[in-house]
Amino acid sequence: MPPPVVLIHGFPLDSAMWYRQKTWLEGIGYTVLTPDLPGFGARPVLSAEASSMTAFARNIANLIRNAGGRAIVGGFSMGGYVLLALLEIHPEMVAAGIFLDTHAAADSAAVRQNRLIMAATVEKTGMAPVADAMIPKLLSSTADPDMVLNLRRMILRQNPAGWPWRSTPWPAGRIAGICSHAFSARA
Tell me what percent of the residues of the chain surpass a pLDDT of 90.
55
- Give per-residue pLDDT as tens, 94-115: 999 999 998 777 778 887 788 7
- Give per-residue pLDDT as tens, 3-50: 999 999 998 899 999 999 999 999 999 999 999 998 889 888 777 666
Please spell the DSSP secondary structure of 23-37, one letter per residue: HHHHHTT--EE-PPP
pTM of the full predicted structure?
0.85
Q: Taking residues 170-184, report their average pLDDT.
A: 45
Residue environment code for 173-183, b if the CB has 16+ CB neighbours within 10 A, otherwise e: eebeebbeebe
**Are the CB atoms for 120 and 75 separated by under 8 Å?**
no
- Give per-residue pLDDT as tens, 16-28: 999 999 999 999 9
Options 3.40.50.1820, 3.40.50.1100, 3.40.50.720, 3.40.190.10; CATH for 5-184 is 3.40.50.1820
Among 54-58, 127-131, 145-149, name the most confident range.
Answer: 145-149
The structural domains of the chain, with segments of one domain joined by +, span: 5-184
- Give per-residue pLDDT as tens, 65-75: 999 999 999 99
Reported as half-sphere exposure (CB side, CA atoms, 13 A), residue 173 has a value of 0
Closest C-alpha to 21, from 101, 76, 69: 76
Q: Residue 159 CB: number of other CB atoms within 10 A?
A: 15
